Amino acid sequence: MTLRQQVKLTIALSTPAILAQLSSIIMQYIDASMVGSLGAHDSAAIGLVSSSAWLMGGLMSAAAMGFTVQVAHHIGANSSHDARSVLRQSLITCLIFSVTLALIGVAISKPLPHWLGGSDEICGKATTYFLILSAFLPFLEIEFLAGGMLRSSGNMKVPGMLNILMCVLDVAFNFFFIFPSRIIMIGGQQFYMPGLGLGVTGAALGTVLAEVVTCLIMLYFLLTRSRELKLVGTKGSFKPTAQCLRRAYKISLPLGLQQVMMSGAYIATTAIVAPLGSVALAANIFAVTAESLCYMPGYGIGEAATTLVGQSTGAGRKDLMKRFAAITIIMGVVFMTIMGILMYVGADLMMSFMSPVQEIVDLGAQCLRIEAWAEPLYAAAIVSYGVMVGAGDTLTPCIINLGSMWIVRISLAIVLAATMGLQGVWIAMCIELCVRGTLFLLRLSSGNWLNRTSIINS
């Protein structure tokens, strides 16, 4: 492939993922504004347990990644039969894993908000929100797995479009579940809008129903329409084999440990912010949502990097691995630098869209302007991580992420929060992301990740 062809392929794979990530964040903005309109306490209830929900999601993503990387390598080696075999085994394994996580989440849903230092006025709502999300985790896991399998085969469009659909459904369901029945004005005309008025509970129900619908459609495309991976009309065992599980374990264990420790760091950050009050807690979660408008496109490019490098690894093409790594990282840095500039300029507008409380808006906007300085190096970290996962190099990225998060961010946040409040927490975050991006670039430039043997040969 010529350089021009490689760039075109990278753009072709990245664009659907970027659009899906952007649409997801736009819908999260709308979602957050719905909850934000209910007041600071409801927003704080969701923000209190959001990091714990991310932990559950991160563990399931890591479990799915152990199988999707194998499939990318098999497809790169032109072995669709082996790729389908891994898919069959992954469906059973991931289902068992997600049901186990769901039971754990339901069991801890009541004491969790108190463990995180939440006040009595928000703990009840936080418990209900986390309980509902936990109960439906198996659907989210299968959606992760099916989307990852499609992307590993090079199909970025279907997962991208379905992720957009999930966001639209989430907003539509939330519009019905969160608010009570009311009269709305559209074009000068009055319309009756039915609603259940469930507040925070409605936000959780809207989210899980959107996940269920998307999961079922994603499975349909994977099992019946995918040229490389469809199982309809094919034969094979769904019983997990020791070899497949061992390979998945080799990939997923570092990722899973990373998710536990990283999410633990997010939970620790929430515990640092919670004593600052409901306004600070709400401003923090809204600012995180607002910032994701900048970095989620980087994750879209990172997904393309994982696919491109993974298939190149399976084909034994180190030259393509190196070239695709450079192309995707440059693309990610440029994209997120532009987004960081826009975030700095429009911070007040971004926050005002999500909350009518001026104190929350002002505090959140200050945090966004602090974080904007970290976006270029954050992009380097995100895309480099996708590159290394595609190559099967998961241990070193895990160490980099954990070291920078716990040694730099948490320690600085504890010190700075005491004197600077929420702004101090975000200064710590900005410094840590710059350190992390620098470490990833050093690892990438060393070339050691290129020496990884394809996971299907291990």
Both tokens assigned to 12? 């072709």
DSSP state of 239: S
Q: What is the mean pLDDT of the chain?
A: 86
Tens of pLDDT, residue by residue over 259-269, are 777 777 777 88
Name the residue with higher pLDDT: 247 or 281. 247
Residue 28 has pLDDT above 60, yes or no: no
- Amino acid 440: pLDDT: 94
Q: How would you label 342-352 residue by residue, b for 16+ Cβ within 10 Å and e otherwise?
A: ebbebbeebbb
CA angle 83, 86, 87 (to 5 degrees): 85
- Amino acid 182: pLDDT: 80
Tens of pLDDT, residue by residue over 145-162, are 999 899 888 888 898 889
Residue 448 has pLDDT above 90, yes or no: no
Are 413 and 429 within 8 A, CB to CB? yes
Tens of pLDDT, residue by residue over 268-298, are 887 888 888 878 888 888 888 788 878 877 8
For residue 123, the one-letter residue type is C
DSSP state of 452: P
Question: Measuring CA to CA, which residue among 251, 229, 230, 216 is closest to residue 397?
Answer: 251
Residue 85 has pLDDT above 80, yes or no: yes
